[in-house]
Amino acid sequence: MSAPSLSPSSQSSQSSPDLWLARRAAGGRADAWDELLALYGERVYNLALHFAGSAADAEDLTQEIFLRLYQNLRLYRGDVPLAAWALRLSRNLCIDYYRRARRERRALNVSEEVLAGLPAGGDDPQAEAQRRQQLRAVYRGLEEMPEDLAEVVLLRDLQGWSLEETAACLEVPVGTVKSRLHRARLDLAGRVTAKLGPRGAAVAIPELEVEPC
């Protein structure tokens, strides 16, 4: 299933189907609720996996997010993407899970579970091993970063959310997301450099000029 994403030009056209879907689901239509789950369930679950740090907690978190979403569907006005709105409703919950996972150093497990889902690297096992190493380094770097910076990288770069969705979820303007994202990437590049060395970091974050810490 392809994840629905929002480009700036398509935001207004996307919000209407979301609103229609939300209205039908709030009205008790089982098919609408199933459609909503099919559209956003996987995205929310993967994000919950990063916040919660374990599959079991991620399932609980996903369920709580959707429960809150269902209870508040009538309040949805369609001005922001539905997935971002759902996350905004449960932001404190996600932050609680995230802090608990960080305290218990469980966030490392996420990368292991995600690594298991990496597509096969073909005939080059060295490249595949390198990718795993890079991903681990990025996750470790995220654990050490301030929450607001880690959050924006998580949503935008690791989960592939659009700028508009990220801004709606974090309740900040798009410009703030961009600037915060830039700072977060620089911060993360420094941390990855410290772990992998300048060469490894340059491979992991090729578009940034990484300066050694």
Partner 1 sequence: MLSWACRRFRARFNPGDTHPHRRACAECDAFATALEQGARVRLPLPVSLRSNLQSIQSLGAREPGAILPFPVPRLPMPESLVARLRSIPTASRPAPPEWVRSPRYALAASALLALLLGPLMAGAADRGQRALNAVRVEVSPLLDHAGTGSRKELEKLRLATAATYDTARESVADSLHRFDAGLSGLSIRLSNVLSEDLNQSDARHEPDRPSDK
Closer residue to partner 1 (CB): 79 or 86: 86
CB atoms within 10 A of CB 11: 16
The Cα-based distances of 188 to 44, 53, 107 in angstroms read 24, 19, 16
Residues 6+ apart with CB under 8 A from 134: 192, 196, 200, 203, 204
Stretch that binds partner 1, among 12-20, 74-82, 94-102, 186-194 (CB under 8 A): 186-194
Closer residue to partner 1 (CB): 93 or 135: 135
Contact 153, 181 (CB under 8 A): yes
35 touching partner 1, by CB under 8 A = no
User: Using CB under 8 A, which residues numbered 106 to 165 contact partner 1?
Assistant: 113-114, 117-120, 131, 134-135, 138, 153, 157-160
Contact 187, 145 (CB under 8 A): yes
In this chain, which of 9, 28, 31, 123 binds partner 1, going by CB under 8 A? 28
Minimal CA–CA distance to 88: which of 128, 60, 47? Answer: 47
In this chain, which of 42, 104, 144, 171 binds partner 1, going by CB under 8 A? 42
Contact 163, 156 (CB under 8 A): yes
Q: Which residues of this chain interact with partner 1, rule CB under 8 A?
A: 1-3, 5, 25, 28, 30, 33-34, 37, 41-43, 45-46, 49, 55, 59, 62-63, 66-67, 70-71, 113-114, 117-120, 131, 134-135, 138, 153, 157-160, 182, 185, 188-189, 192, 203-208
